[in-house]
Amino acid sequence: MKILITGAAGFIGYHLANELMSKSNFLIGFDNLNSYYNKNLKLDRLKELDLKAKSSIYSWEFIKGDLIDTELLDKIFKNYNPEIVIHLAAQAGVRYSLENPKAYISSNIVGFNNILECCRKYPVKNLIYASSSSVYGGNRSVPFRENSNNDHPVSLYAATKKSNELMAHTYSHLYGIPSTGLRFFTVYGPWGRPDMAPMIFTKAILSGEPISIFNNGEMSRDFTYVEDIINCILKLINKPATKNESYDFKDQDSSSSWCPHQIFNLGNNNIVNLMDFIEILESELGKKAIKKFEPMQPGDVKETYADTSKIFKYIGFKPYTDIKDGIKKFTTWYKNYYLN
């Protein structure tokens, strides 16, 4: 099976490619290796993938390029003719969208449209794309269900992810592209992004620097271990979206459709208070954090909490990694990678 993974040098993309390389697949990785965070981490992820590919009987090819390069994307789809497209590439980060909004429009809107156009021109069996729990924005009714209101985003990043869902649905309706959107909830684990709390806090605690705790610590997240995310995506690869033949037009569900498009929450279905998370991290690192309490940041939300009953009903997916186990695995990797 030929599979194209965009954002292959990213956090989730790396773990997915690493797992798929053990199976009978022809993998094409695509990434622009931008400098949003330290490029060396991305390059090291690629080195790991290259090493695994050398010991594998299956094919792996990496192509450096940008989503706005329509010529290159067209060439990739034409030459490789991928059957499955897993689109993880995007300009990430809620707070950075306040500083550089153009990057989000370019990558997340224009770039995603270019992917959709290629899937239309060179029909694929399955398109899986990354959305985000950020789409729930100002909604305070938890846990978040896929059909919960998400019409009030509080960051441009969230708005672009909501737009991606609408764009994918339109292409599914017009061209029959089977597409599945995944709303990721605070994914963490080894090889994670340096701009996310686990990495920021770990680095600061170990170096004796203060950590900024926003909303005076009154925040909570549905932390989801990356291995759980990967296991879910693996199951979805062979189960593309289909039409909901019993779709109720009078009582519409925005996460389902009469066309082959669907949306799922991918979370741990377990809410963790930020202060409890820090306490677990302190315990694993054997060192107390210097805490600096600050007000809520623009574009941020107080809590996220995923209702995962829909994805469980669809493929039997249920996250199994406890936050303590996940943090232990993360800190073990962090020390090996950064301190050894």
CATH code for 2-185+226-269+305-320?
Answer: 3.40.50.720
Contact indicator for 133, 186 with CB cutoff of 8 Å: yes
Tell me: pLDDT of 23 over 90: no
Average pLDDT over residues 236-262: 92
Residues 263-298: tens digit of each pLDDT: 999 999 999 999 999 999 999 999 999 999 999 888
> 207: helix, coil or strand?
helix
Residues with catalytic annotation? Answer: 157
Q: How far, in Å, CA of 70 to CA of 106, rounded?
A: 12
Q: First and final CA of the chain: distance in angstroms? A: 38
Average pLDDT over residues 164-169: 98
Return the pLDDT at 297: 82
Residue 296: how many other CB atoms lie within 10 Å: 13
Average pLDDT over residues 168-184: 98
Residues 241-252: tens digit of each pLDDT: 999 998 988 888
Average pLDDT over residues 40-48: 97
Tell me: pLDDT of 25 over 80: no
Residues 298-312: tens digit of each pLDDT: 877 888 999 999 999
Return the pLDDT at 216: 87
- Encoding tokens for residue 283? 């315990």
Return the pLDDT at 11: 98
Provide the residue ranges of all domains of the chain, joining segments of one domain with +: 2-185+226-269+305-320
Residues 102-159: tens digit of each pLDDT: 999 999 999 999 999 999 999 999 999 999 999 999 888 889 999 998 899 999 999 9
Q: Determine if the pTM surpasses 0.75.
A: yes
Tell me: pLDDT of 226 over 90: yes
Residue type, 176: G
